[in-house]
Amino acid sequence: MSAGDGVAVITLDNPPVNALSFAYCKQLLTAIESAERDPGVRAVVITGANGIFSAGADVNDFAAEPQADAVSVRDIIAAIERSEKTYVAAIDGNCLGGGLELALACDYRGASARSKLGLPEIRLGLIPGAGGTQRLPRLIGARPALELMLKGSSISAERAVELGVLDEITGGELTETASEFARRVADHPTADAPRKRRISAREAVIGDGVPKIALPYVAAQAHKMVPPEEKGGLAAHKLIDAVQAAVEMPFPLGIARESRLFEELVRSKPSLGLRHVFFAERELSKIPGVTLPQTQRDIGGERVGVVGAGTMGSGIAIAFAQSGIPVTVVDTNDEAVERARQTVMGMFMYQVQKGKLTQEEGWKRAQSITFTEDWNELAAADLVVEAVFENLGVKRDVFAKLDGIAEPDAFLATNTSTLDIDRIAEATKRPERVLGLHFFVPANIMPLLEIVRGAETSPEAIAFGFAVGKSLRKKAVLSGNAFGFIGNRMIFDYLREAMALAEEGNAPARVDAVMRNFGFPMGPFAMSDLSGLDVGRQIAQGRGDEGKARTDVLGRLVEMGRLGQKSMAGFFKYDRSIGRGREPIADPVVEEIFAGEARAAGIAPRHADDVEVRERLLYALVNRGAYLLEEGVALRPGDIDIVYVYGYGFPPHHGGPMWYADEVGLDRVYARIREFESQFGPQWKPSALLAKMASFDKELAHA
């Protein structure tokens, strides 16, 4: 704390994000109490170091049982609330969660133009717990406050001024300007700028001139607009209750309601699952046994090449262009190139129409992607990503050609989803600079990126892969080199059970409905239609005996031209006149094919209830995930969970398949897998790791 001319400046300085942990809040409370005792201090400015105000509370504290003498951000805010001195928040950079709640407790708030403000607690299955649900509705109205908190995203300083969250955007030296303002208000208050301006003393309104008598109706409508509690909406419903309390109750009672709701949520399964995902993300770039060198390259200044202008190649090119990285796409198929040009231009024009880009920005990004037939245009690239047909021979030919064109220090990456990275790297003289960069469709939208290391992939190449992921704002997960890597290797077992259930007479539409009810955006059969049944068949054939199914339903559908969404028929039918033609429609023809193939294979019909459907699909993921941990393909259970949450739509409030196994109870999951092994065959043999963890009553997510 520094003080001068009647103003004390308290600087939040707890690197890297100025988290308001219990330990740091104790120091902060000491500084505030010191300023309160000093008769020469008439005003206090709170600002942040490290180019940030505060990212909020330390999430680690949520899981800890607070000690009797623990100090939280609530205690800091209570001290400010009791004070008769003027408090000004001088905000620079991020002001999130508890950081914004601290700022809301101050009398005035000014910020730099680059600042971002928000209350993102909903993303962790929580609500703001330090007065945010009570002060923000009193400041800007219940409806806009609720909208801001339900989205959980940050807003710009400009938008915060429009809403009334900020008083002004401050130019010049932030702390100096805030100090001058605080001194003036403390010494010469006016009706427009009083010495004290507590938000807690205000009365909350709904907003937009809506009378308070309409509150029950507004709250009921809000409850209808968020997911049900059992489908990940628990925190959203509690948040609506808290904001309703802000309008209905005096401030002290509203704060008490908020505190109770927060404590309920912090121990809830959805919040525990979401916080697991949060912490798993933090661990992604920590590679045990490998010291990742601090690469000197700035991926933003790299030159990138892509081989292949198909759906995946054009999506990868767009992903780089969106991050401001120029791309050269090589393809000799004129028709594919023309489609890719249209896709690129259409994507950026769509972003312009949605207001996400200016017309100039959209045009500039579209023009940063160059299409050519000349492979020599890749000679200057620092990274070349191959995105051609999923065939080992074709990919080896591409890499052999690239090896002779690209600079010796260039990295060569394959986007293969299943093939052997080492076999591909063998086609080059630089296997240490070959890696997998497995994007997910559509590559410019899906947030997951699997980084696959071969036997000779260097730490520098792995580090560069993570740099690519960071530049593209992807969740980058390291995988070992194994068939299907992490995500696709597990999905084969998931789809195996979906097919088995349908062969037993359980309609694909019902199987899909069960998984949607669990929280997946689509079921296994609709997902297969989206990927393409021809692609699935080709991959299964490439696996030899391991990929051989009990029936040839997939082959029959492909031979009928039912390739999935792209042909408007697969496991389901699709109708272009309905929405965008992507709504699956149950087809009795497919059910008849399943029944006929099952009879020919001697598979007896049997009804599986919804619980069995869910267990067979989810426990297949769990068991294969445990095998991948045993084999070292996946480094951590959390890595698997990140892959499934961000790549396959696993409901995040269940934390991913490995976390979900612990949520159910690992002993119960293991026992059920043993039952499935006895009932259905050796494909259900439980992994040794799973058996060990269950026998010792351990948690799989912390294996």
Q: Please state the pTM of the whole predicted model.
A: 0.93
Domain with CATH 1.10.1040.50 in the chain: 505-601
Q: 217: exposed, middle or buried (C-beta count within 10 Å: 0-12, 13-18, 19+)?
A: exposed
| Strand residue runs (E) in 208-248 | none
Looking at domain 2-266, its CATH architecture is Alpha-Beta Complex (3.90)
Question: Are 633 and 486 in contact, with CB atoms under 8 Å apart?
Answer: yes
Phi then psi dihedrals of residue 555, to 5 deg: -60, -40
Catalytic residues: 101, 121
SS3 357: coil
The two three-digit tokens of residue 421, written as one number: 């990275």
Question: Are 490 and 544 in contact, with CB atoms under 8 Å apart?
Answer: no
CATH top class, domain 299-485: alpha beta
What mean pLDDT is predicted for residues 51-77?
89
The two three-digit tokens of residue 547, written as one number: 């990929």
Q: Residue 436 forms beta bridges with which residues?
A: 414, 452
229-254 per-position pLDDT tens digit: 999 999 999 999 999 999 999 999 99
DSSP state of 169: E
* pLDDT of amino acid 296: 46
Domain with CATH 3.90.226.10 in the chain: 2-266
What mean pLDDT is predicted for residues 460-477?
94
CB half-sphere exposure, 295, CA atoms < 13 A: 18
Entry field: residues in the chain: 703
Residue 290 has pLDDT above 90, yes or no: no
Please state, for a pLDDT cut of 90, what percent of the chain lies above it: 85
Cα–Cα distance for residue pair 639/124, rounded to 1 Å: 18
Q: Which fold has domain 505-601?
A: N-(1-d-carboxylethyl)-l-norvaline Dehydrogenase; domain 2 (1.10.1040)
Task: Please name which of 423, 421, 448, 447 lies closest in space to residue 435, comparing C-alpha atoms.
Answer: 421
Rg (CA), the chain: 28
SS3 369: strand
Cα–Cα distance for residue pair 128/593, rounded to 1 Å: 53
The two three-digit tokens of residue 527, written as one number: 């997902």
| Single-letter residue type at 47 | T
Question: How are beta strands 369-372 and 168-169 bridged, if at all?
Answer: unpaired
* pLDDT of amino acid 261: 98
Domain with CATH 3.40.50.720 in the chain: 299-485
Q: Which residues contact 622 (CB under 8 A, 6 or more apart)?
A: 657, 658, 660, 661, 669, 673, 690, 700
- Window from 50-59, 81-90, 287-296 with minimum mean pLDDT: 287-296
